[in-house]
Amino acid sequence: MRAALTLPAALSAAACLLAPVEAASQKGSAHMFGSVVDRMTQGPIPNARIVHAGDGRVVIADSLGFYQFPELKAGIVRFNVRAVGYPTVTFTVALTNGERMERDIELDAPKAGDSAQVAQTLAGVEVEAAAPLGRRFADFERRKAQGRGHYLTRTQIETLGANNLQDALRGLRGVAVECSGGSGCYVRMVRAPMRCLPEYIVDERVDNEFGPYVAVRDIEALEVYTGPSDVPGEFAGRNSGCGVVVIWTKSGPPRRKG
């Protein structure tokens, strides 16, 4: 004779059956992306944690502060944002099915004397710095020290085994290399609108005709800025919202006549 389930056992079994369905129902077709930045400096905040208050899912911003949160349900969704050295921030968004929402998150650094959150002091780590490239690359070194973009030197490009500029940029966070038929490959920033191509600066001059085709063997250094919040002021032109690729070549800019 088969034993009948008691009420507690029946409820437990039902919960087990419903749990996967409920978990699956937490996901939807909306998508949110953007950058986490310091409100005062507008600099990126890497490793910030964006937490879905409803289901506990977490995404972590990359080294440029960029994040993507996929599979969100339509409706009012609340998020908590946490970053070392910053107070936790909570915000809500209203999403529709299939929506791709860009939402930049600005965090306020704590005021002097605010003990709400104190950054943990870690043990020192010895770092072997790469040798400077030379006086001509002073601006490259200055911007590299600020850390707002991607920076590659000739040695790093050779280590990658890149055959062209697109190969050198392939794999960088926030950068997409798209190829189509006989028209070859081109670089586009993930955060940029469709058909919005980056500005190319070759040896301190805008050159969108030659820039994408500079021979990789002629490149001494590269700077890549994937969005307007990363682009330094000297490159903040009308197309900076599509990203900026700065190329330093062996020959350098033409010398001015005296």
DSSP code per residue over 79-138: EEEEETTEEEEEEEEEE-TT-EEE--EEEPPPPTT--S--PPP-------PPPP--GGGH
Residues of the chain with CATH 2.170.130.10: 135-249
Instruction: Tell which wins on pLDDT, 149 or 195.
Output: 149
Among 53-67, 179-193, 218-232, the minimum mean pLDDT is found in 179-193
Nearest to 122 by CA among 84, 87, 89: 84
Is pTM beyond 0.75? Reply is: no
Give the torsion sign (CA, 85, 88, 91, 96).
positive
Place of tokens 């980056």: 198
Q: What is the mean pLDDT of residues 103-124?
A: 64
Confidence at 256, pLDDT banded by 50, 70, 90: low
pLDDT(241) > 60: yes
- 115 or 91: whose pLDDT is higher? 91
CA dihedral angle for residue 30, residue 88, residue 173, residue 141, rounded to 10 degrees: 150
Percent of the chain clearing pLDDT 70 (strictly above): 78
Per-residue pLDDT, 152? 93
Predicted confidence at residue 238, as pLDDT, reads: 66
Q: How many residues does the chain have?
A: 258
Worst-scoring range by mean pLDDT, 21-25, 73-77, 138-142, 199-203? 21-25
**Least confident interval from 60-69, 111-120, 226-235:** 111-120
Helix (H) or strand (E) holding 23: helix 7-25
Cβ neighbours of 208 (radius 10 Å): 14
Predicted confidence (pLDDT) at residue 107 exceeds the cutoff of 80: yes
Do the Cβ atoms of 92 and 101 come closer than 8 Å? Answer: no
Domain spanning 30-107: which superfamily? Answer: Carboxypeptidase-like, regulatory domain (2.60.40.1120)
54 vs 12, more confident:
54
pLDDT at 78: 93
CATH class of the domain whose range is 135-249: mainly beta
User: Of 114 and 56, which is predicted with more confidence?
Assistant: 56
Residue 219's identity, in one-letter code, is I
Dihedral sign from CA coordinates of 47, 52, 53, 56: negative
How far from chain centre, in Å, is Cα 33?
Answer: 9
pLDDT band at 83 (very low <50, low <70, confident <90, very high): very high
Identify the pLDDT of residue 235. Answer: 86
Does the pLDDT of residue 112 top 80, yes or no?
Answer: no
pLDDT at 6: 52
What is the pLDDT at residue 132? 59
Q: Which amino acid is at 82?
A: R
Of the listed ranges 44-53, 72-81, 138-147, 172-181, the one predicted with least confidence: 172-181
| Mean of the per-residue pLDDT values of the chain | 80
Name every residue whose Cβ is closer than 8 Å to that of residue 249 and which is 6 or more positions away in sequence: 202, 203, 214, 218, 219, 220
Element (H, E) at 165: helix 165-169
User: What's the CA gap between 126 and 148, in Å, rounded?
Assistant: 22
